Structure formats: structure tokens, C-alpha cells
Chain A
Amino acid sequence: MIGSGFGKLSSAKLLTAAALIAISSGAVVGLSVGYVVHYSAPTTRTFYLFDGTLPFSERTFYNIPHDTFVPDTITVDKGDHVVIHYINIEDAAESHTFTMDLPYTFDAILYGNATQQGVVGTYPNVGNIVLSQGQNATITFTANWAGTFHYYCAIHQPTMTGYLVVIG
């Protein structure tokens, strides 16, 4: 190939031709991708999460009630920064956890209730946090893995389970 017409052209001409072809074809491909793929860039998504109670009074072993998460599904895009404000709204002295299994961990800031004002503790890179009655927590993580993952209260199983759906 070098010995043919290709070899007779000067370096400058060859480089210029290659650059023009590469840049123009790259621009066509890039613009096509931008046109075809309706992609939303990662963003911060904020959710408010509460505990709820199923509408019957039956209790499980150890007298633990059938509680739930409200909402029980959180849907985000892969790469999104997720902020969950989790509030324990129990009217009786009852704790809840927010627990996630690997690969997900989160950072949490725990805020006090009526008797404990302000920040009670900060918990970087954990998989579990416990909220007493009236406490709330700000939970943050990045949705780096696509799929469906459950978040749950380790105390109130099996009913208090929610699903993190990461679309990617």
C-alpha cells in the first residue's frame, strides 16, 4: 500500500486527509448517537421515606407488628446521586432500620427527635442505620449498579421491605 499511490502523497497531505475523514466521520457518529439515544445525564434524586403499618393488628413472633416502607419502591437511573430523607414517624417507642445489602452502601446523617436535637451521628459507607422513634436520617449514595436491590428494616421482616430499582 505504501509503495502505491499512498506512498507518493506527502505526509502533510496524508495527515490532513486522515484528520478530515476522522473528524467528520466522528462528528457524524457522535451527532447520530446524540440524536438516537435519549440519555438523561446522572442527576440528584431526592426521596422521602416513612414507616407505615399494614391495616390489620395481627402481630408476628415477639409481638413485632407488620410494618412497611412508604414508598416501597424507589426508581432511579444508573449513575444518579440518591438522597433519601428517612423519617421514623412511629407514635410509640419503636425503632426501624434502613438496611441495604452489598454492593450498595451509603452515607447517613442521623438527626435527633424531640428529646435529642441536632445531629446525633454521621455514618460514612455503612449498610445499616437504626432510627429510634421520631428520628430522621439523610441517606445518600450513588446508584452505580443497575438492577433491583432491596432495602429493608432488619427488625420488621418480612413486610418492611422496599425495592431500589436502578435502570441502566
Chain B
Amino acid sequence: MEVLNDLKLVRWSAVALLLVTGIIDLYYGNSFAGFYENLWYVMGGIYIFAALVIAANIEPHFSQLTVFAYTLFLWSVWATVAVGTGTGLDVVAYADKAIEAVLAVNMVLLFRSSRRV
């Protein structure tokens, strides 16, 4: 029972983090001038869609692993683009990436917990 409660907690915290990250990405695309802002809309949209998938617990193992990989993928893209071009180095992006890092850890916990159940 306790494991199930923990699983729920981790799952809903993942959903919250995904929503927050998605909203930040949409905001960033809307407010940040200069660099492929439409991509931020797409990234934000995917995060919000992922939040719905995780909340609905659809194919949990596959979706959790995919979201984990997606988070790391975006983190890696951001870091290399930032180093290469000097873009995306601002407070909003830092906040977004910090939350993404927490989200990645959260997805690891969720994935491990859900496979144990």
C-alpha cells in the first residue's frame, strides 16, 4: 500500500513538473526574441502532452522511459546549442533546465517504482 502511495506521489509530481516545464517552454517561445521560438512551442506542447500521458498512466513503462529520454535529449540539445551559439543563456532557460533536471530524476524514480509494482 505504501509503495502504491509512493508511486502515486512520484507520478503526480512528474505530471506537475511536466506541466510546469511545458508552460515555461510556451512562455519562453512567446516572450523570447530571436532564436527559433516556434521550436519552444513544440517542445512545450510535447511536455504538456507527456503530462497527460503520464497522468493517464498509458503504457507506463514505455512512456516513462520515453519522457525520461526526451528530457535528457532536450537538456543535451540546449547545452550544446548554448555552448555553440551563446543562445538560451538567460534566467528563464536556467529555471527551465533546472526543473528539467529535477524532472529527469523524478522520471528515474517513477520508472523504478512502477517496475517494482
A residues with a Cβ closer than 8 A to B are 1-2, 6-7, 11, 14-15, 18-19, 21-27, 29-31, 33-35, 37, 39, 41-42, 77-79, 142-145, 168
The residue from A11, A22, A41, A145 contacting B73, defined by CB atoms under 8 A apart: A22
Q: How far is the CB of B31 from chain A (nearest CB, A)?
A: 8
Among B35, B68, B83, residue most surrounded by chain A Cβ atoms (within 10 Å): B35
Does B108 reach chain A (CB closer than 8 Å)?
A: yes
Which residues of chain B have C-beta atoms less than 8 A from A168's C-beta? 33-34
Q: A27-B80, A34-B85 are in contact. Are A18 and B69 (CB under 8 A)?
A: yes
CB-based contact B84/A35 at 8 Å: yes
A23 to B74, CA, bound (A): 8
Please give the distance in Å from B89's CB to the nearest CB on chain A.
Answer: 8
Provide the bound-state CA to CA distance between A37 and B115, in Å: 42
In the complex, B27 has a CB within 8 A of chain A:
no
Q: Are A26 and B75 in contact (CB under 8 A)?
A: yes
Residues of chain B with a CB closer than 8 A to A11's CB: 111-112, 115
B35 A27 Cβ-Cβ under 8 A: no
Complex-state Cα separation, A37 to B35, whole angstroms: 10
Is the CB–CB distance between A41 and B33 below 8 Å? no
- Known A-B contacts: A19-B69, A26-B80, A42-B34. Give 5 more (CB < 8 A): A2-B59, A15-B111, A30-B84, A34-B81, A79-B32
Given A26-B75, A30-B76, does the pair A79, B34 have CB atoms closer than 8 Å? yes
Interface pairs (26), CB distance under 8 Å: A2-B62, A11-B111, A11-B112, A11-B115, A15-B65, A15-B68, A18-B65, A21-B69, A22-B68, A22-B69, A23-B75, A26-B77, A27-B76, A27-B77, A30-B76, A30-B80, A33-B77, A33-B80, A33-B84, A37-B36, A39-B35, A41-B85, A77-B34, A78-B34, A144-B33, A145-B33
Judge if B12 is at the interface, Cβ distance under 8 Å. Answer: no
In Å, the complex CA distance between A79 and B37 comes to 12
Closest beta carbon of chain B to A146's beta carbon, Å: 8
Which residues does chain A contribute within 8 Å of B115, judged by CB atoms? 11
